[in-house]
Amino acid sequence: MLATTKHNPLNMKQTEIKNLSVAELQEKLAQTQKAYMDLKMTHAISPIQNPLQIRTMRRTVARLATELTKRALQ
Q: What is the per-residue pLDDT for 5?
A: 42
| DSSP secondary structure letter of residue 51 | T
Task: Confirm whether 44 is domain-assigned.
Answer: yes
Position 34 in a domain:
yes
Q: Count the domains in the chain.
A: 1
41 within some domain? yes
Q: Measure the N-to-C terminal CA separation of the chain; round to a whole number of Å.
A: 38
Domain limits for position 48:
19-73
Q: What is the pTM of this model?
A: 0.82
Digit-by-digit pLDDT tens for the chain (74 residues) are 454 445 566 678 888 889 999 999 999 999 999 999 999 999 999 999 999 999 999 999 999 999 999 999 98
11 in the Ramachandran plot: left (φ > 0), alpha (ψ -120 to 50) or beta? Answer: beta
Number of C-beta neighbours around residue 11 at 10 A: 17
